[in-house]
Amino acid sequence: MSSMRLTGYADKFGVHPGESIKFYVNCDGPSQYKAEIVQMINGDTNPRGPGFIEKPVPGSLEETVSGRKQIIHGGSYGFVPDCNALNVESFTLQCWVWPTTPITHPKYWKHGAQGLVTKWSDDVGYGLFINEKGHAEVRINGEKLESTTPLRDHAWHFLAATFDAKTGKLILIHEPQIEYALDPVIEPVEMTISGKLKNTSTPLAMAAYVDGVSEDPLAASSLPAGITFAGKYNGKLDTPRLCAKALSRAEIEMMKLGAQPGLTERRNSGPTGPLSEVIVGAWEFSEGISTLVATDFGPYRLDATLVNCPTRGLTGHNWSGTTFDWKQSPGEYGAIHFHDDDVDNARWDVDFEWTVPDDCKSRFYAAKLTTPEGDEDYIPFWVVPEIGDEQSKIAVMVPTISYMAYANEHVACNAGGAELFIYRVPIMQHQNMFLAEHREYGGSIYDTHTDGSGICLSSRLRPILSIRPKYDHFLAQAPWQYPADLHLIYWLETMGYEYDVFTDEDLTYDGLARIENYSVIITGSHPEHNTGTQLDALHNYTQRGGRIMYMGADAWYWVHSFHPAYDELGRGVMTEMRRCESGIRTWRADPGEYYHQGTGELGGMWRFRGRYLHSVAGVGMSSEGFDISSYFSRTPESNDDRVSWAFEGIEYDEMLGNFGLVGGGAAGLELDIVDTMLGSPPHTLTVATSAGRHTEAYLLVMEDFGFNQQGLDGTTHPRVRGDIAYHETPNGGACFAFSSIAFCGSLPWNNCDNNISKLVQNVLDRFAVPGPLPAAPADAIKYRGRADY
């Protein structure tokens, strides 16, 4: 099969007319490629639909670009630039570690020694490591001394190495925090080194070691540029200290306290006067958790720069289990979890730019890259109008945070196909095969890292191969997210609507100003991941008479925040999410690790922060299943005068959407229902439902029950259904919720001539008219309860 020789990304998702957008491309093989800008209309190659459609763009660039390979230096680490203080003769190096993969399979993608704290490269220097056998190891130049036993994974250990330049004595201490009954006693080990410690001019590294310094262009995307790191460590590192003397065991114990500056009667930065005279660095990762700096409290201020955004705000070796928010007791959160597949920014060089014409329509676009040999890649982006320069009364909210959450997802590979929930054998695409080999492209927030811990951060500054046309997702065996949302775009184009587009980032940063000039906001098929300010803006919009057409399901579900340390690189570069106490979770955060490192806010489901999903557009997720879809039937409430206009041209007993390009029907994948006990306004009308039609692959969401029991699937449980629903909001606003991820897949069917298309057209035509909607009939005005009508 062909490998993907072209991969790329842009510096932004949303770009305004008149601005330029930069593209970064890895061209691994071909000498050149053609770059052009196209408008994206339909991304689905299914022969039962309209097929893949793109359109030429006025003012597009058409360039032949020289190809060059660019690589991602994945894996997180910290570095401190070389300085005299770090170039010691004698030393004590100590830290706490919680390794997750001390021993790896010989075929593991980064099998080999892992650096902990190292000022070492190519047999020069010193450092603490975990060697390829899983033992703690101290290195001096080419000499190695290992502890007597491998480190236990997922457990805290205290490690210390001392070297006395006068005697040549090297000692390595390995003290597990937890000892079990049958554990052997681990005595310190020692040896004598004959030569002197030579120092290297490379940086001090945390969670890695310096592999080399190179002029090779491929090393330019490392940080610092030209210096590459190897031995990326998987696991937590806590409170490393470096002293320029071989300390006694008692002094080492004292040194665990760190530099301790700040007391007014003290005149030094050590736990004792003598220790203050030998401290080189004493790093406290509990400081600046929301930053990319590992702060040194020692006398030289040797702060480390963190690369590729390791996970912070995690419990340290001293976590007491009494505080669960790192902001309340940062000293118990002095651990950073490094992963060998973390990535925050590919850091590639720009290959070409495009300046968006001033009169460019706000639409879905992509940079299309091709070679004569058949290589191809698309780099999607969106042209978003400036606030005040809106081009239409209709706007599509592109769920880019959700795209980022699913970015480069590995579930088919990592989770044995996740077959128990997709209910078949998964189909992997080119993109999945490429990613299975190229873990440095990073995973999604659905994945676990290569060490098995959950991925809670996702960057858009890397090629995201799942945000591509012509890509069927294993979950659906059909388009999902980006290509699925193109079904909606194809429908808007075919039906002749004028519309703008904006992204989740735009709404997060701009608030109500971004949307208040539109009559109606149309969502994507699965806007699951949202920031708080985005939800605020949507609520404020509908409160003031705005209209929302919620075109999918399982939205407003997870708490996201953009990491503030990346703000200078643009909007929404790095999104963070924690999978906390409930919800559909492909991994589960550990105790005490529910708070975001970037903003400090509580993560998890919006529901458990008191923001019920159902309150945003009237419905909320109730079930999911990934085998096949079904259809909706109208309910008597669809005849209510408040909403009957939506069904003009549709008979009461028609099967609504028993066709489609996602699962074969409009009701499928993930489904939302009306629940006035969970935030649906009590005047919500359920106008159609798919009740009773789903397969046993569909299961009730776990946050809706407290007790495992039989009868939770689509063949038996009454809540396994989708409800199409309508409700009015104040000042002539309204929400229409279509409540199924598969829904948009029915829009293109039969050239958009079908009853789903008709229903959506009726709603959009009414919602798009500027000004308040017609008032509800007078007899609809009455006070309603939630549980009791």
Partner 1 sequence: MISIPPAGSPEREALIAEHKACVDSMKGVAGFSILKCETPGDTTVVSGGVHESPLLKRVLLRMRGESPAGKLIVVCTKVEAEWRIARLSGIRGVPPEFIDDKVYDCEQEIQHEIFLMRLDELPESAGMPEDYHEGWKRRSDNWPVT
Binding site for partner 1 (CB under 8 A): 1, 45-48, 105, 107-110, 341, 411-420, 423-430, 433, 436-437, 439, 446-448, 450, 470, 472, 476-478, 586-587, 626-631, 655, 658-665, 668, 695-697, 715, 745
Give the nearer residue to partner 1 in terms of CB position, either 17 or 664: 664
Give the nearer residue to partner 1 in terms of CB position, either 287 or 419: 419
* C-alpha dist (Å) from residue 481 to 279, 406, 492: 53, 8, 17
Give the nearer residue to partner 1 in terms of CB position, either 471 or 562: 471
Minimum CB distance to partner 1, residue 346 (Å): 18
Give yes or no for a contact between 222 and 228, defined as CB atoms under 8 angstroms apart.
yes
Minimum CB distance to partner 1, residue 433 (Å): 6
Give the nearer residue to partner 1 in terms of CB position, either 201 or 477: 477
C-alpha–C-alpha distance, residues 445 and 454, integer Å: 7
Give yes or no for a contact between 700 and 622, defined as CB atoms under 8 angstroms apart.
yes
Give the nearer residue to partner 1 in terms of CB position, either 219 or 656: 656
C-alpha–C-alpha distance, residues 531 and 508, integer Å: 6
Minimum CB distance to partner 1, residue 668 (Å): 7
Give the nearer residue to partner 1 in terms of CB position, either 128 or 701: 701
Give yes or no for a contact between 529 and 399, defined as CB atoms under 8 angstroms apart.
yes
CA nearest to 484, candidates 631, 663, 700: 663
Minimum CB distance to partner 1, residue 187 (Å): 28
C-alpha–C-alpha distance, residues 170 and 190, integer Å: 5
C-alpha–C-alpha distance, residues 46 and 54, integer Å: 15
Minimum CB distance to partner 1, residue 586 (Å): 5
C-alpha–C-alpha distance, residues 467 and 403, integer Å: 7
Minimum CB distance to partner 1, residue 581 (Å): 17
Minimum CB distance to partner 1, residue 447 (Å): 6
Half-sphere exposure of 161 (CA within 13 A, CB side): 27
Give yes or no for a contact between 737 and 550, defined as CB atoms under 8 angstroms apart.
yes
Give the nearer residue to partner 1 in terms of CB position, either 342 or 510: 342
Minimum CB distance to partner 1, residue 429 (Å): 5
Q: How far apart are the first and last CA of the chain?
A: 61
Minimum CB distance to partner 1, residue 135 (Å): 20
Minimum CB distance to partner 1, residue 449 (Å): 8
Helices (H), 496-605: 504-510, 532-543
Bridge partners of 214, per DSSP, are none
Give the nearer residue to partner 1 in terms of CB position, either 350 or 427: 427
Cβ burial of 679 (10 Å; 0-12, 13-18, 19+) is buried
Give yes or no for a contact between 662 and 668, defined as CB atoms under 8 angstroms apart.
yes
Residue position matching structure tokens 């990762």: 285
Give the nearer residue to partner 1 in terms of CB position, either 285 or 626: 626
Give the nearer residue to partner 1 in terms of CB position, either 401 or 478: 478
* C-alpha dist (Å) from residue 153 to 112, 439, 521: 16, 22, 49
Give the nearer residue to partner 1 in terms of CB position, either 329 or 477: 477
* Residue 605: DSSP 8-state: B
637: Cβ–Cβ under 8 A, 6 or more apart, which residues? 643, 685, 686, 687
Give the nearer residue to partner 1 in terms of CB position, either 515 or 669: 669
Minimum CB distance to partner 1, residue 107 (Å): 5
| E strands present in 577-698 | 620-624, 633-634, 670-673, 685-689
| 470: its two tokens | 């012509």
Crossing angle of the two packed helices 755-767 and 482-495, in degrees rounded to 10: 70
Half-sphere exposure of 522 (CA within 13 A, CB side): 27
Minimum CB distance to partner 1, residue 341 (Å): 8
Minimum CB distance to partner 1, residue 256 (Å): 31
Pairing of strands 394-398, 62-66: unpaired
* C-alpha dist (Å) from residue 420 to 526, 665, 754: 21, 21, 33
Amino acid letter for position 597: Q
Give yes or no for a contact between 528 and 485, defined as CB atoms under 8 angstroms apart.
no
Residue position matching structure tokens 């940080």: 223
Minimum CB distance to partner 1, residue 682 (Å): 34
322: Cβ–Cβ under 8 A, 6 or more apart, which residues? none
CA nearest to 555, candidates 691, 423, 405, 699: 405
Give the nearer residue to partner 1 in terms of CB position, either 189 or 742: 742
Minimum CB distance to partner 1, residue 702 (Å): 13
Give the nearer residue to partner 1 in terms of CB position, either 46 or 329: 46
| 695: its two tokens | 């397969």
Give the nearer residue to partner 1 in terms of CB position, either 71 or 244: 71
Give the nearer residue to partner 1 in terms of CB position, either 74 or 271: 74
Pairing of strands 574-576, 457-459: antiparallel
In degrees, rounded to 5, the angle at the alpha carbon of residue 349 between the alpha carbons of residues 345 and 350 is 110
Residue 419, SS3 per DSSP: helix
Minimum CB distance to partner 1, residue 434 (Å): 8
Minimum CB distance to partner 1, residue 428 (Å): 5
C-alpha–C-alpha distance, residues 628 and 661, integer Å: 11
Minimum CB distance to partner 1, residue 725 (Å): 23
* Residue 356: DSSP 8-state: P
Give the nearer residue to partner 1 in terms of CB position, either 48 or 784: 48
Give the nearer residue to partner 1 in terms of CB position, either 121 or 448: 448
Residue 483, SS3 per DSSP: helix
Number of Cβ within 10 Å of residue 574's Cβ equals 23
CA nearest to 43, candidates 364, 352, 449: 364
